[in-house]
Chain A
Amino acid sequence: MLRYILRRIFYMIITLFIIATVTFFLMKLLPGSPLSAENKLSESQREVVLEKYGLNDPIPVQYVNYMTGLVRGDLGISFHFDNTPVTDILINRMPPSMVLGGQALIFGTIAGILFGLIAAIYHNGWLDYTSTVIAVLGTSIPSFVFAGLLQWYLANEWGLFPVALWGTYAHTVLPTIALAIFPMATAARFTRTEMLEVLGSDYITTARAKGVTESGIIFKHGLRNSLIPLVTVMGPMAVSLMTGTLVIEKIFAVPGIGEQFVSSIEVLDYPTIMGTTLLFSVLFIVILLVIDILYGLIDPRIRLTGGGR
C-alpha cells in the first residue's frame, strides 16, 4: 500500500511539474505584457519596473524564478484587479467556493443515496420510476439550465431566495441546489444499481432466512456494501463540482474562485487565469489521489494489483 501511495505521489509531482512548465511557456507566448496598459510610463520607468519584477531576465532564469515562486506559493501579480498578487486574490476568493462545493457535495450525496435507496427498495414501483427519471434529468440537463430555472422561479417569480450575490445563508441556498443536482443524480443512480445487485445476492437471502429484520437487511447488510463502490464515482463528482462552480458562480454572482476565473477570461488577465488553472490542477490531482488511496484502503483488490484505474 505504501509503495502504491508513493508511486501515485511521484506521478502527481511529475504531472504538476509538467502543468506548471506548460503554463509558464504559454504565458510567455501570449501577446501583451503587464505594462502594455500603462502608456504613461517613460522608457526608463518601464525599464525600472521590468527590472523590479525580473521581466528583463533571460527566459530560463525567469522560468527558474517562476518555479521557485510556485513552490513558495507565489503565483505572480494580476494584470488587472489593482495589481494584487494572484495568491491573495485566490485566497480571498476561496471561502465562498469551499462553502458551496462542500454543501453541494454533502447534500447532493446524501439526497442521492436516499433517492437510490428508496428506488431500490420499491423496485419497479412508481417511486422507483420517479427517482430514475429524476436521476436521468439530473445527469442530462446542464447545470446552468437548472440554475436559470431556480433563479427564475424560486428567486425572481416567487421571491423565496435572493436572486444573486453573496452575504447571508439564504444566498447560498440556490447555488448549492444547482451545484448539488449532478452529485445527487449520480449518487442516486449508482446507489440504486448497487443496492439491487446486493439485495439479490446470496448472503441477503441467508440473512432473510435467519430472520434478520427488513431494516437490518437494508441498512446493515445492503446499504453498507453498496456504498463502497460509490467512492469510484467521487472523481467525476469532483470534476462536475469544479466545472459547476464556474458557471453557477457566474450566474449567481458569487465572489468565488469560479467567478474570478470567468471574469479573468473576459479581461484576459493571464496571471490570474494561469494561477487559477494551477489551483484547479492541484485540487483535482489531490482529490483524485485521495479517492484512489481511499478506495485502495476500502477494497484490498486494488492494493494487490497496484491500481487498475
Chain B
Amino acid sequence: MAGQHQKNEPPKELFVSHERKENTTEMITKPSRSFFQDARRTFFKNKMAVVSIILMIIIILMSIIGPYFNEYGMDGQDLSRAKMPPRVPVAENIPFLGMDGTLQDEFKGSTVEEATENAVMRYDNAEDFVDIEVLSEGDGSTDSAEVSATYNIYEAKEMTDDYFWLGTDQLGRDQWTRIWLGTRVSLIIAFVAAAIDLLIGVAYGGISGYYGGRVDDVLQRIIEILSGIPNLVVIFLLLIVLQPGIMSIVLALTITGWTGMARIVRGEVLKQKNEEYVLAARTLGQTNGKIIRKHLMPNIAGIIIINTMFTIPSAIFFEAFLSFIGLGIVPPEASLGALIDAGFKVFRLYPYLVFYPAVLISIIMIAFNLIGDGLRDAFDPRMHK
C-alpha cells in the first residue's frame, strides 16, 4: 500500500508554488455596468431609434438656423409673389422632383381651345408662359377634351433669379422660412410642456408617494378630481378665454397634463420605498432628502424619461390639432398645425403648401415615438433580467 502510494506520487520538481494574487478575481471579470450604461447600450443597438435621434437633431438644428438660410422673413408679405411653387437651384433641372418652379394641372373643356382657355385663365392670363400639351382631342361634348398645362410662373413674373425653395403662401410669404419657424414654435411648445409636466409631476408624485399617510390621501383626492375632468375640455375652455399664443397653449396642455406623470411617479415611489435597499439606507441614518436623491431618483428615472418622451409627441400633436381647428397659433405666427390648416384651404390648387408641413410633422411624430419605444425597451427592467 505504502509503496504503491509512493509510486503514484508525482515528482516534487513538477510542483510550482502557487502565489496568491489578491487582485486576479477582480481583473478577469468584465467591468460592471451600471443600469444607465446598460440602458444606453440597449438603446444604441436599436437602429430605428438611433436614426430617429439623428433626424431629430437635424430637424431641431434646422428649426434654429433654417429661417436664416435665405433673405425672406416670416412676415415678408408681398402679394406680387404670392402662391409661387417650390423652386430649388440644381433640383429644378430634375423634372420629377416637382421643384422646377412650375405649376402644372390638367384642364378639361368641350374642345382643346376651351380647355386651353380654362388653363390660361387659371394661370393669371399669362398666355406666353403657359405650355399646353394636348392629352385628348375631345369630340365636342362637355369636358371631353383634356390638356395638360404647365405654367412657368417665375418667368411670367420676371423673377427668374428668385428661388422660393418650398414656394410661397397666399400672401407671398416664403414657405421655407415659415416651416422652420413653425417647427420651432411646435417644438418649443412640446419641450416646455413636457418639462413642466415633468417638474410638477415628479415633485407632486414624489411627495405623495414618499410621505404617504394623510398627505398622500389629500393629494390623491385632488388628482382624482382633476383627472376626472377630460383634458380636452380644459384645453378648450382655457384657449377660448386666453389670448392665442405659445404660452396659453403650454398652459392649457400642462394644467392637467402633469397628473399622469404624478400618478406614475407616486406608484413607482410607493413600490421602491419599501425595498430593502431603502430600509438599509434608512437604518444607516441617511436623511430623507438624500434617500430621495441618491436612492429613489436613480431607480425611477427610467420610467420618468420614458413618460416624458411620450409627452413630447402628444404635445406636438395637440398643438397641431388645436391650431388646425382654430384654437391654437394664429397667423401671422406660424406653427406646423397652423401651416397645415392654411394649406388645407387651398389644398387642391397648391398642394405643396400642405405637403411639406404635413410630411415634416409626420416625421417628427414618428421619430419621437420611435425614440420613446427605444427608450422604453432600454429602460424596462424586465428586459435586463
Q: Is B199 an interface residue (CB 8 A)?
A: no
Query: Residue A280 contacts which of B225, B230, B325, B354 (CB distance < 8 angstroms)?
Result: B230
Known: A140-B313, A265-B326. A148 touches B230 (CB 8 A): no
A137 within 8 A of B: yes
- Tell me, yes or no, whether B289 is within 8 Å of chain A by CB: no
Contact across chains for B230 and A281 when beta carbons are under 8 A apart: yes
Contacts of A262 in B (CB 8 A): 325-326
Check A12 against B347 for contact (C-beta < 8 Å).
no
B366 and A136 within 8 A (CB): yes
**Contact A251-B241, Cβ < 8 Å, known A19-B229, A148-B354, A265-B326:** no
Instruction: With both chains docked as a complex, state the minimum distance between the C-beta of B59 and any C-beta of chain A, in angstroms.
Output: 14
B366 touches A137 (CB 8 A): yes
Any B CB within 8 A of the CB of A170: no
Residue from B230, B354, B358 with most neighbouring chain A CB atoms (10 Å): B230
Q: Quick check: B340 and A239 within 8 Å, CB to CB?
A: no
- Is chain A's binding surface mostly helix, strand, loop or mixed? helix
Tell me the nearest residue of chain B to A30, going by C-beta. B241
Q: Which residue of B lies closest to A258 (CB)?
A: B325
* Bitwise interface map of B from 236 to 249 toward A, beta carbon under 8 Å scored 1, else 0: 11001100000000
Contacts A140-B362, A140-B369, A265-B326 given; indicate if A22 touches B340 (C-beta within 8 A): no
A83 to chain B, nearest CB (A): 21
A308 CA to B378 CA, complexed, in Å:
26
Please determine whether A11 and B224 come into contact, CB atoms closer than 8 angstroms.
yes
Q: How far is the CA of A300 from the CA of B233 in the complex (A)?
A: 32
Residues of A within 8 A of B224 (CB): 11
B370 and A136 form a contact (CB under 8 A):
yes
Contact among A19, A23, A140, A243 with B321 in the assembled complex (CB-CB below 8 Å):
A243
Asked if B361 CB lies within 8 Å of chain A CBs, one says yes
Report the minimum CB–CB distance from A305 to chain B (whole Å).
12
A30: chain B residues at CB < 8 Å are 240-241
B306 at the binding interface (Cβ < 8 Å):
no
Residues of A within 8 A of B369 (CB): 136, 139-140
Please, which residues of chain B bring their CB within 8 A of the CB of A22?
237
Task: Determine whether the beta carbon of A284 is less than 8 Å from that of B230.
Answer: yes
B232/A280 in contact, CB under 8 A? yes
Q: How far is the CA of A241 from the CA of B241 in the complex (A)?
A: 25
* A-contact bits for B315-329, CB 8 A (1 contact / 0 none): 001001100111100
Known: A15-B225, A136-B370. A277 touches B348 (CB 8 A): no
B156 within 8 A of A: no
A140-B368, A145-B358 known, 19 other contacts, Cβ within 8 Å: A15-B225, A15-B229, A18-B225, A19-B229, A26-B241, A30-B240, A139-B369, A140-B362, A140-B365, A140-B366, A140-B369, A142-B361, A148-B354, A152-B347, A152-B351, A243-B321, A246-B325, A277-B236, A280-B233
Which residues of B are at the interface with A, using a C-beta cutoff of 8 A?
224-225, 228-230, 232-233, 236-237, 240-241, 313, 317, 320-321, 324-327, 340, 344, 347-348, 351, 354, 358, 361-362, 365-366, 368-370, 373
